[in-house]
Amino acid sequence: MSDTLVTIANYTNPFEAEIAKSLLEDWGFEVVLLNERMISMVSSLAGDLYMIELQVSPENEVEAKRILTDLEDTDYMSRILKSESALLEGHFQLTSGKHSGQYIEKIKLLQNPEATHNICKRMAERLVDYDFDCVVGPAYGGIILAFQTAYIMGKSFIFTQRKDGEMTIRSGFDLAKVKKVAIIEDILSTGGSVNEVLACLKAQGLEVVVIGVIVDRSGGKLTFPAPLESLLCLDIPAWEAHECELCQNGIPLYRPGSSDKQTTT
């Protein structure tokens, strides 16, 4: 790399800077992050005294900037799943009861606040043109994502939960000023949870103007009364238990989120 470097992007968040760095390195560029160590040690300096500067050689400046500008949500989310080891391979029972050979472990994403924050920033950018006053997140996976997205966008926040088997708005929330809402969910598989939330909000007289999901693993096959915005769309097959080839091959079945494990026969 040339001794003279140029800064092509600035970041206050080390996680976001690393994502950009890994992207450019995959394209064969040599990249330097200036001030990364300092901000990692003293995060309060970010944005006030220092920024993380992403630098490349002058001859790569134009092309590297173009690549970063063209970084789509799909590429970004794929890299986050990879960096957090959140896309698992095996034999899993989904919340819907269906079986799948792949599972997105959302807890690995939520465990890293920087990853969660950057995901919500992307979601906020996708929803900025929609007119709503409140963000709704279903318990439990959608709560953190909805809250952080609401905070970034300056909206109010509520969450729903199941009570006696029925999806309800958590008691105590003041709905007097809530008219139009956005639903934020983590992983979309069969759409069952989203439809429960839709029915719950409709019963309260609230208008859902958009549904945002982090990962749509249905491959874009599902439709709802409101527009669907997903940061990453994957076509991951899922089968009814009695049709599952993995079961037929005797591959152990895992129920994520539970200590329970069973071996299929």
pLDDT tens string 35-85:
766 555 555 444 445 688 999 999 999 999 988 877 767 778 888 888 889
Check pLDDT > 50 for residue 228: yes
- pLDDT class of 168 with cuts at 50, 70, 90: very high
For the beta carbon of residue 258, count every other beta carbon within 10 angstroms: 8
Q: Which residue has the higher pLDDT, 38 or 128?
A: 128
Tokens of residue 117, six digits: 């924050």
Pairing of strands 228-233, 52-56: unpaired
Map out the domains of the chain as residue ranges.
6-70, 77-262
Q: What percent of the chain has pLDDT over 70?
A: 89
pLDDT of residue 36: 67
pLDDT of residue 78: 86
Cα 78 from chain centroid (whole Å): 10
String of DSSP letters for 122-146: HHHHHHTTS--SEEEEETTHHHHHH
- Confidence (pTM): 0.75
Tens of pLDDT, residues 10-23: 887 787 888 888 88
Report the distance separating Cα 250 and Cα 265, nearest Å: 6
Quote the CA–CA distance of 232 and 214 in Å, as a whole number.
Answer: 6
pLDDT of residue 54: 92
Give pLDDT, residue 181.
98
* β-bridge pairing 180-188 and 134-138: parallel
pLDDT digits (tens, 9 = 90+) for 71-113: 767 778 888 888 889 999 999 998 888 999 999 998 898 898 8
CB 102 within 8 A of CB 125: no
Give CATH for domain 77-262: 3.40.50.2020
Show Cβ contacts of residue 201 under 8 Å, excluding neighbours closer than 6 positions: 136, 160, 169, 181, 183, 208
Output the pLDDT for position 38. Answer: 57
From 35-44, 111-120, 156-165, the region with the lowest mean pLDDT = 35-44
Q: Does 234 score more than 50 pLDDT?
A: yes
**Residue range 236-244: average pLDDT?**
91
pLDDT at residue 70, rounded to an integer: 72
Average pLDDT over residues 171-175: 93
Task: Provide the 3-class DSSP secondary structure of residue 173.
Answer: coil
Exposure string (b/e) for 37-65, b if CB count within 10 Å is 16 or more?
eebeeeeeebeeebbbbbbbbeebeeebe
Q: How far apart are CA 135 and CA 156, in angstroms?
A: 6
Spell out the alpha helix ranges (H) of the chain: 14-26, 36-41, 61-69, 73-83, 106-110, 113-127, 141-153, 192-203, 245-248
